[in-house]
Amino acid sequence: MSKIANPVDTVQQEIRFACEKLGLEKSYYELLKEPERVLIVQVPVKMDDGTTKTFTGYRAQHCTIMGPAKGGFRYHPDVCLDEVKGLSMWMTFKCAVVGIPYGGAKGGVCCNPADLSKGELERLTRNYLRAINTMVGPEKDIPAPDVNTNAQIMAWFMDEFSTLKGYNIPGVVTGKPIPLGGSQGRTQATGYGVTVAVKKACEVMNIDIAKTNIAIQGFGNVGSYTSLYCSKDGAKIVAIGEWDKEIGTYALYDEKGLDIEKLFDYKAKNGTIVNYPDAKRISLDEFWTLDNIDILIPAALENAINENNAPTIKVKIIVEAANGPTTPEADKILTEKGIPLFPDILCNAGGVTASYFEWVQNLMNFYWTEEEVNSKLEHILISAFDDVYNMHKDANVSLRQAAYLVAVKRIADNIKIRGWV
């Protein structure tokens, strides 16, 4: 078993390095090393059988100097204080790296949503909102979907907040259904943004994307749209690593390139790609050792690339689409092997950027087309990529360290001007 990295420790290491490299006084690190505030709440839910169950929920706001806090909330049995704190810290630096005016937040409720009926899920969501309602709002903290939370849950959240306040407040949450003020392009935005990062990474590495073989771990929201957009740019998606409740992990493989549109249709009909007939099924262990891959994109879950599989990886570049898919130990191994790794806080920031666009549209009550969303998104992500890449070259640090340097510098400038230290 690989050691599971504690997200708080992982982010603190990056902040400490960035503060030292930027020559900041220790007080900057002290200010940034923990969230500004964390709320732990008990959420009672009337169950369908007439009993009441109480669930523990959290909301952490890391640093609000750049603007209101922003970050999703998840429903999962592993939700705990350190996870929520660490993820809120990640969000601060992700927003700063793309230069959108938000701080970081994260929330969650420790529960197993698979055991809850639709009615129980709705009551859980409404009561979680009531428990944290003083902390959120369009000017304070704007949640969004995360693991096991979706547009319907955001709709209940927005409805409950609006009912409490007495008028419609769509800007309290993003990732809403379109009729309730959701943004065009939000569903595809993270995969679209990852593809922008893949194209920029190819450009700086002198790789022709149309001649690449790509392996992607995860065919959920992010992995599927990344596969689609990269294949439209001419790349061959040769392998997709996945997980299935019957057989566990597996991968689909076709050296000629999988037909992604067919895979979308297959998943829409069957809910899974496990029995997709037009590809060879290989194990996830084999997936990590494939030797004909140019670009590896982990787009499934945290700690996927670790000290066990990192030594077997033979690719030209890695583009992180999931949050925290590479452990610090694996990071070291890949650096020693000379494999450039384009980091999550840059490459998957398309999602939060499109969420920002949703919030802006809600505040203006004026809505954009998908083309407008995508062109604004591309502009922001390209400029963030250039900032990080230039920092990587100028400061002679890894791409991940460069992303933190860019973000911490922006935040530290605000801290100084406002006189917080």
Which residues are annotated as catalytic?
Answer: 106
Using CB under 6 A as the binding rule, whether residue 215 contacts ligand NAD is answered as no
Scan residues 176-195 and list those touching ligand NAD (CB under 6 A). Answer: 190
Using CB under 6 A as the binding rule, whether residue 323 contacts ligand NAD is answered as yes
Q: By C-beta, is 190 or 398 nearer to ligand NAD?
A: 190
Query: What DSSP state is assigned to residue 145?
Result: B
Q: Which two tokens stand for residue 150?
A: 């979706």
- Residue closest to ligand NAD when measured from CB atoms: 220
Residues in the chain: 421
Using CB under 6 A as the binding rule, whether residue 219 contacts ligand NAD is answered as yes
Query: What DSSP state is assigned to residue 166?
Result: T
Using CB under 6 A as the binding rule, whether residue 2 contacts ligand NAD is answered as no
Q: Concatenated DSSP letters for 273-320?
A: -TT-TTSEEE-HHHHHH-SS-SEEEE-S-TT-B-TTTGGG---SEEE-
CB 27 to ligand NAD: min, Å: 31
Using CB under 6 A as the binding rule, whether residue 300 contacts ligand NAD is answered as yes
H and E: helices and strands count for the chain:
14, 13
Size of the site for ligand NAD (CB under 6 A): 21
Phi/psi of residue 182, nearest 5 degrees: -70, 160
CB 28 to ligand NAD: min, Å: 27
Scan residues 250-269 and list those touching ligand NAD (CB under 6 A). Answer: none
Using CB under 6 A as the binding rule, whether residue 327 contacts ligand NAD is answered as no
Using CB under 6 A as the binding rule, whether residue 98 contacts ligand NAD is answered as no
Using CB under 6 A as the binding rule, whether residue 217 contacts ligand NAD is answered as yes
Q: By C-beta, is 170 or 241 nearer to ligand NAD?
A: 241
CA atoms within 13 A on the CB side of 9: 7
Q: Compute the radius of gyration of the chain from its Cα atoms.
A: 21
Tell me which of 11, 201, 235, 299 binds ligand NAD, using CB under 6 A.
299
Amino acid making up residue 291: D
Binding segment toward ligand NAD, per CB under 6 A, in 96-104, 127-135, 211-219, 409-417: 211-219
Q: How far apart are CA 212 and CA 236, in angstroms?
A: 6
CB 323 to ligand NAD: min, Å: 4
Tell me which of 241, 313, 403, 411 binds ligand NAD, using CB under 6 A.
241
Q: Do the beta carbons of residue 225 and residue 190 sit within 8 Å?
A: yes
Tell me which of 47, 243, 311, 367 binds ligand NAD, using CB under 6 A.
243
Query: What DSSP state is assigned to residue 6?
Result: P
User: Would you give the binding string for ligand NAD spanning residues 351-380, x where CB under 6 A is met?
Assistant: x-----------------------------
Tell me which of 105, 129, 202, 322 binds ligand NAD, using CB under 6 A.
322
Beta bridge partners of 54: 44
CB 85 to ligand NAD: min, Å: 16
Contacts 24+ apart (CB under 8 A), 240-247: 240/215, 240/216, 240/273, 241/215, 241/216, 241/217, 241/284, 241/287, 241/300, 242/217, 242/218, 242/272, 242/273, 242/274, 242/300, 243/300, 244/272, 244/274, 246/274, 247/274
CB 186 to ligand NAD: min, Å: 8
Q: By C-beta, is 158 or 412 nearer to ligand NAD?
A: 158
Using CB under 6 A as the binding rule, whether residue 218 contacts ligand NAD is answered as yes
Using CB under 6 A as the binding rule, whether residue 152 contacts ligand NAD is answered as no
Tell me which of 133, 168, 221, 335 binds ligand NAD, using CB under 6 A.
221
Using CB under 6 A as the binding rule, whether residue 35 contacts ligand NAD is answered as no
3-state helix, strand, coil split of the chain in percent (to 5) is: 50, 15, 35
Q: How far apart are CA 134 and CA 128, in angstroms?
A: 11
CB 72 to ligand NAD: min, Å: 8
Binding residues for ligand NAD, rule: CB under 6 A, are 190, 217-223, 241-243, 249, 284, 299-301, 321-323, 348, 351
